[in-house]
Amino acid sequence: MSITPVTGVLGAEIRDVRLADLAGSELETFRAALCEHEVVVVRDQFISPAHQSTFSRRLGPSGETPFVVTMPEHPDIIKVVKEADEGAAFNFGGAWHSDFSFQPEPPSFTILAAVDVPPWGGDTVFTSMTAALSALDAATRERLSSLTAVHTARDAYSRKMQPLHSGMRGMTIVCDDSANDEFRHPMVCRHPETGKNVLFFNRAYVRDIEGMTHDEAQALISFLHHHSTDARFTYRHRWLPGDVVIWDNRSTQHLAVNDYGGFRRELHRTTIAGSRPVAA
């Protein structure tokens, strides 16, 4: 396989692989490249749901998928879909986030496979939380290392958010009170596979910081959001038919751009179970 970086910060395109057949030392090389580059793009796969599940299981057991109803025949796959006539309505994944970081053991990887992509628009943007952390000065990194972030899905999936999700025709999202649960994770974590320090933060689910007043926490959350999503840390993926993009949720955030009104977009998503984040 050949591995070519797509920016100077994160992302690589991996060529000469068939994901459906990946195994043995080739799978190990692929996984190491995924952890190192944080996002990998594999073109021309046209992978079926069954093959996506098989490949996903080779990266690890399926992560739990709260709130979002999965495909009946493939309970590990979420169909991420917006119909052409849904216009500029709310889109799934349209705010910067790391998948399900509000879980006690958030997912390690996400696999997203293109099924029906618009001729333009609907890109997915990724940012490197390794690069975002290392760009901070030593005193700020030190201060962040002593902090614990409070992750919760309450502003995404609690009952008050149901009308927003119910506006999407192609996906079924069921909000419930478990969204109000809170899980605390260190703000700076050690990546379990690369050993690199990462800023484990995203504004969608980090809604408080332990030991801070509301105002102090909101000011820091705002600063970290704007710093970590700065264009210099990002890779913007323009989808082509057959693409599969895999990312490491432990070291990235992502955002689905909602700019393709008039076109249908469908991708299939699987997540891989992760482990409890560990402080750096």
Q: State whether the Cα torsion 70-71-73-74 is positive or negative.
A: negative
Q: What residues numbered 119-158 form the site for ligand SIN, per CB under 6 A?
A: 124
Q: Which stretch binds ligand SIN (CB under 6 A): 30-38, 91-99, 167-175, 212-220?
A: 91-99
Q: Rule CB under 6 A: is residue 80 a binding residue for ligand SIN?
A: yes
Residue 98 lies near ligand SIN (rule: CB under 6 A): no
Residue 82 CB, nearest approach to ligand SIN (Å):
9
Q: Which range binds ligand SIN by CB under 6 A, 55-63, 92-100, 149-157, 172-180? A: 92-100
Q: Is 93 among the residues that bind ligand SIN (CB under 6 A)?
A: yes
CB of 124 to ligand SIN, least distance (A): 4
Give 49's Cβ-side CA count (13 Å radius): 15
Spatial strand order in the sheet of 206-209: 182-186, 148-152, 206-209
Amino acid at residue number 245: V
Length of the chain, please? 280
CB of residue 160 to ligand SIN, shortest distance in Å? 21
Q: Is 106 a residue that touches ligand SIN (CB under 6 A)?
A: no
Candidate list 12, 256, 272, 280; residue touching ligand SIN; CB under 6 A? 256
- Residues engaged in binding ligand SIN (CB under 6 A): 80, 92-93, 99, 112, 124, 254, 256, 267, 269
